[in-house]
Amino acid sequence: MEQSTNHLTVSRVADPLRQLSLERLRERTSMKWRTYPADVLPLWVAEMDVPVAEPVARALREALERGDTGYPAGTAYAEAFAEFAARRWDWDGLAVDRTAIVPDVMLGIVEMLKLVSGPGDPVVVNCPVYPPFYQFVRNAGRPVVEAPLDATGRIGFEALEAAFRSAAGAGGRPAYLLCSPHNPTGTVHSAAELAEVARLARRHGVRVVVDEIHAPLMAAGTRFVPYLSVPGGEDGLSLLSASKAWNLAGLKAALAVAGPAAADDLARLPEEVGHGPSHLGIIAHTAALREGGAWLDALLAGLDENRGLLDALLREHLPAVRHRPAEATYLAWLDCRGLGLGDDPAAVFLERGRVAVNAGTTFGPGGEGFVRLNIATSPEILTEGVRRMAAAVRGERAAG
């Protein structure tokens, strides 16, 4: 796999996480930097504090120079993802003729749910989970059935089967919205776990739609397994995007991929859905997948360093916080229940510490007393963020 040569490619690209100062970052106008007052250090929403990878910037410059700002067309994005999947994951099962471009992963999820379920049909999720899972599913007219993760943050199969049984008992066409890797815990599901998901889903007549947006963001020594590659996953539908790994959320594009037994489902996707992605987004994502490997390797090395740094900072400054370094993503799920700050410690960190993290309560049951912290920043900013959190616990108000 390409990842096995990370040590060869990282040296060619400087760590993207160490290239931008706090002053430069505060010039940004995106959600991360404009939601809170200027004295708040933002370590919350899934935006990275990195410059645009040069291959991506070059592809965008060239597109603008030729006035290539029309509607998206062709299969270049799917072809680039198939090549990336083969290199990074040893997976050659991403067939271009079983793909469709969609505006982004969450809107793609809604469209996939429309293909395999109807209004009023239940959708199973593993809580605590990415808050838009609740919002988008319910807005699509489908009730949520919760299957809590176990105490280690992994899929609890007794809870999952009970949820499948409940969903199937409600009638209609139930579905399971799987987050892989899981957000917020950073858990990477193993091949055996995914195969068990497929077995249980087939047993109970539940269709699986999987969000794999964080798949390129593996910690060292961890292997991502595509759901569609496991036995029984043939009738699954997956959503992929380069947006998280290359920080391209503002350049909208994603890819829906069907397993061999779900090709007919994907073929029913309305044509107009494919008009939603940004043409410039597809150009950017395609360049990232094809030419941004060295940049990604440098980012992954920097994230590994930040995971170790965060662990050391917590031991020094907030020893009552329990933390299991994530196997993937650039998110840290912190158990702050030992601090005595109640169900919403994020509110205390914001008010007293002037640092913004995500409240665990927004991720559903099991998130009480937790916060989600974004480590995709410089070591200096990460260190300052933990320092402010510790000051908040001591009852001090941190200086902005």
Q: Which residues pair with 239 in a beta bridge?
A: 211, 256
Question: Confidence class of residue 7 from pLDDT cuts 50, 70 and 90?
Answer: very low
CA separation for the pair 294, 7 (Å, rounded): 10
Q: What is the pLDDT of residue 353?
A: 97
Decide if pLDDT at 1 tops 80. no
Share of the chain above pLDDT 70, in %: 96
The 10s digit of each residue's pLDDT in 204-226 is 999 999 999 999 999 999 999 99
Other beta carbons within 10 Å of 135: 13
**Of residues 106, 57, 142, the one with CA closest to residue 241:** 106
- Domain spans in the chain, listed from the N-terminal domain onward: 2-50+293-393, 56-291
CA neighbor of 174 nearest in space, from 165, 185, 162:
165
**Looking at residue 396, what is its pLDDT?**
75
Mean pLDDT across the stretch 329-344?
98
333 has a pLDDT exceeding 70:
yes
Contact 138, 160 (CB under 8 A): no
pLDDT of amino acid 4: 40
Under 8 Å between Cβ of 189 and 155: yes
The structure tokens listed for 209 are 């739609």
What mean pLDDT value characterizes the chain? 96
Give CA–CA dist 305/313, Å, rounded: 12
State mean pLDDT over 304-315: 98
CB 217 within 8 A of CB 245: yes
Beta pairing partners, 352:
none
Pick the closest to residue 119 from 159, 170, 165, 179 (CA basis): 170
Look at residue 171 in the predicted model and tell me its pLDDT. 87
Tens of pLDDT, residues 112-134: 999 999 999 999 999 999 999 99
| Mean pLDDT score, 51-72 | 98
> For 56-291, which CATH class?
alpha beta
User: Measured at the alpha carbon of residue 325, what is the angle toward residues 324 and 329, in degrees to the nearest 5?
Assistant: 125
Whole-Å CA distances, 374 to 12, 78, 378, 382? 25, 29, 11, 9
* pLDDT for the residue numbered 67: 98
**Domain 2-50+293-393: which topology?**
Aspartate Aminotransferase, domain 1 (3.90.1150)
For residue 3, pLDDT beyond 50: no
What is the structure's pLDDT at 399? Answer: 63
Q: Does 138 have pLDDT greater than 90? A: yes
Structure tokens at 67: 């006035």
Residue 144 and residue 174 in contact, taking contact as beta carbons nearer than 8 Å: no
The confidence band for 397, taking pLDDT boundaries of 50, 70 and 90, is: confident
Cα–Cα distances in angstroms (integers) from residue 360 to residues 52, 333, 344, 364, in the given order = 30, 8, 7, 8
pLDDT > 50? residue 6: no
Give the tens place of pLDDT for each residue, 283-309.
999 999 999 999 999 999 999 999 999
Give Cα separations from 334 to 181, 339, 367, 400 (angstroms): 17, 11, 10, 23
Residue 195 predicted with pLDDT over 50: yes
pTM passes above 0.85: yes
CA gap 386, 324 in Å, rounded: 16
Q: Give residue 400's pLDDT.
A: 58
pLDDT at 8 over 90: no
Both tokens of 22, joined, read 């706090």
